[in-house]
Structure 1
Amino acid sequence: MEATFKTWKTSRGIYLNFLENYTLEQLNKIPQGFNNNLIWNIGHVIVAQQGLVYKGAGLQGHVSDEMFGKYGIGTNPNEPVTAAEQEELKSLLMGLIEQTESDYQTGKFISFHEKTTKTGFHLSSVEDAIVFNNFHEGLHMGYMMSIRKFV
């Protein structure tokens, strides 16, 4: 799992670069032909990880229900993200890695509700969910690499 967490930290560092190097206007722009923007993808990977790992293990996550409602599966941006929300996402982006790694190392994830993702991955353990999360975040990184060309 050490390599998996290392990969996740590296990926999240790339996401952080978007938050730090693009203007709020650029982060919020939905280019023609796309249905979301850079900052929505960042919010989405944050809540998706919490759903995959914590909810999958039957635990309360570390983000609000409002955040799940705004960035969860099947949502799209319906209003621009504010500077305050950008700062919250920045904090969660990296802070939740430390929290999840600590919770994993202290044995907080006792059980897991098996499921098959929409992409066909069968998750039977928290380890599967953490590994799949890296795959999922890679997909969204690809979307962001495309979007950034148009903002």
Structure 2
Amino acid sequence: MKTTIFEELINIRAETLKAFDGLTEELADRIPSGFRNNIRWQLGHIYFVMEYLATSQLKIPPLMPEGFTDRFVSGKSPLDDTYPASLPNPTLPELKTLLTEQLDRIREQYPMERLNESVAAIHTSTGLALVSPEQALRYNLYHEGLHFGALSIYKRLLSPLLQKREVTTQ
């Protein structure tokens, strides 16, 4: 059975959306000891990077909410002095809606015949040069999985139930 890149992206995104289960606004803003970001940042970053990877090479206008570039670009952290505190954080329902609607919206406007077109490369933080739209979308599978893993770890580290168990077993 052959699957399309968008079917693969939708499967990964479904896992990311499950991470909203049990999340609270307070939990989403807590930063685990030894880390630089929180669950809200992980979710916003997943949205930001997918939007960038899917639209930039083909010059498709991105749907980037106000403040997302300043907040969720690689290397930013809520701990930074330059983090835009004057802009309100997106709420969990807003992030869930953005992440839920993103792939269908992009797929509807995406010129599938251009997937393998040679375009200006996107250079990743891991040193890869993504030279076609399909490479960029496939890289997003890895990228979203990486950040899904981080937010899953954050949830476990910050879970009140887990913290209560750790306190009682010490």
Q: Same fold (TM over 0.5)?
A: yes
**Pair 1:134-2:119 in alignment:** no
Give the superposed CA RMSD.
2.5
Check whether the contact 2:19–2:152 (CA below 8 A) recurs between aligned residues: no
Check whether the contact 1:58–1:112 (CA below 8 A) recurs between aligned residues: no
Q: How many residues align?
A: 150
SS of the residue 1:21 aligns to: coil
TM-score by length of 2: 0.76
Pair member with larger Rg: 2
* 1:84-123 alignment, distance < 5 Å: 85-105=91-111, 112-123=119-130
SS of the residue 2:110 aligns to: helix
Please say which of residues 103-112 and 24-33 is displaced more in the overlay: 103-112
The verdict on how the C-alpha distance between 1:63 and 1:2 changes in structure 2, with shifts beyond 3 A counting, is farther
| Matching residue of 2:54 | 53
Check whether the contact 1:56–1:126 (CA below 8 A) recurs between aligned residues: yes
Please give the alpha-carbon distance, in whole angstroms, between the structure 2 residues aligned to 1:146 and 1:20: 14
Taking every aligned residue pair, what percent have the same amino acid on both sides?
26
| Matching residue of 1:7 | 8
**Pair 1:70-2:77 in alignment:** no
| Matching residue of 1:143 | 150
Please give the alpha-carbon distance, in whole angstroms, between the structure 1 residues aligned to 2:150 and 2:54: 22
The verdict on how the C-alpha distance between 1:6 and 1:21 changes in structure 2, with shifts beyond 3 A counting, is farther
Check whether the contact 1:57–1:111 (CA below 8 A) recurs between aligned residues: no
Distance apart, 1:74 and its partner CA? 1.6
Please say which of residues 66-75 and 108-117 is displaced more in the overlay: 108-117
Letter in 2 for 1:8: L
Distance apart, 1:65 and its partner CA? 4.7
Check whether the contact 1:58–1:113 (CA below 8 A) recurs between aligned residues: no
Unaligned runs of 5+ in 1: none
Check whether the contact 2:118–2:131 (CA below 8 A) recurs between aligned residues: no
